[in-house]
């Protein structure tokens, strides 16, 4: 069983590494970004609320995001573990998540923080936007999203470092090397080799 929080700026490779972890650990990947984009695509009430935030690169308000995560963490498939991606993004969200996980007795094991230089992130996000036709990844929105990350989200590194549950991984290397570092951390958590 593993409960992991994937952390890092947009374009750091969280989604790519989450897919690997899902296969390795057979636990669900909970991505707030994916959930929000699906809600927008399906024009659900939540999707209509978050559309303006996504289009402008702003963070979706804490209350909406926390309610979404709380609902998701009560579903049956998360009882054996989960990978949380895209949440928390603010100190208020981190504190709310701590409280929620305590209430539902699902403490997280580790925060895996992917670090990548900003110029590399910008290149990756522009390429991804072109490849996937994501209208929420225009150059202007990319810069705004990165700015919001550095201002609001990066300070959470100290929050998790102080709890001694932060593992930092260089995300600016070949994908397989990033994966190998993550696998090593997961193996240490389990106290045994996974394969």
CATH number at residue 40: 3.40.50.300
The model's pLDDT over 55-88, given as tens digits with 9 standing for 90+, comes to 787 878 888 888 888 888 888 899 889 999 989 9
Is 134 considered catalytic here?
Answer: yes
191 domain residue, yes or no = no
In the prediction, which pLDDT does 83 show?
96
Mean pLDDT of 148-167: 92
Structural domain tally of the chain? Answer: 1
pTM of the model: 0.84
Which of 3, 14, 110, 124 is flagged as catalytic?
14
Which of 58, 72, 128, 183 is flagged as catalytic?
128
The range of the structural domain enclosing residue 54 comes to: 2-181
190 domain residue, yes or no = no
Is 19 considered catalytic here?
Answer: no
The model's pLDDT over 118-151, given as tens digits with 9 standing for 90+, comes to 999 999 998 988 888 776 678 888 888 899 899 9
The two structure tokens encoding residue 166 = 């932060």
Is 89 considered catalytic here?
Answer: yes
Is 145 considered catalytic here?
Answer: yes
In the prediction, which pLDDT does 136 show?
64
């Amino acid at each position: 069983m593993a409960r992991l929080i994937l952390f890092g700026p947009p374009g750091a490779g969280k989604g790519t590494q989450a897919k690997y972890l899902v296969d390795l650990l057979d636990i669900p990947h909970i991505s707030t970004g994916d959930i929000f984009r699906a809600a927008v695509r399906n024009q659900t009430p939540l999707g209509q609320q978050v559309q303006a935030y996504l289009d402008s690169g702003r963070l979706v308000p804490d209350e909406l995001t926390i309610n979404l995560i709380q609902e998701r963490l009560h579903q049956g498939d998360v009882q054996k573990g989960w990978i949380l991606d895209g949440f928390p993004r603010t100190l208020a969200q981190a504190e709310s998540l701590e409280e929620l996980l305590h209430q539902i007795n699902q403490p997280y094991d580790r925060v895996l923080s992917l670090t990548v230089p900003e110029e590399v992130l910008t290149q990756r996000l522009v390429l991804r936007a072109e490849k996937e036709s994501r209208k929420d990844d225009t150059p202007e929105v990319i810069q705004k999203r990165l700015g919001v990350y550095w201002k609001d989200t990066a300070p959470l590194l100290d929050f998790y470092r102080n709890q001694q549950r932060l593992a930092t991984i260089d995300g600016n290397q070949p994908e397989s090397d990033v994966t190998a570092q993550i696998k090593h951390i997961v193996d240490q958590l389990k106290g045994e080799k996974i394969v």
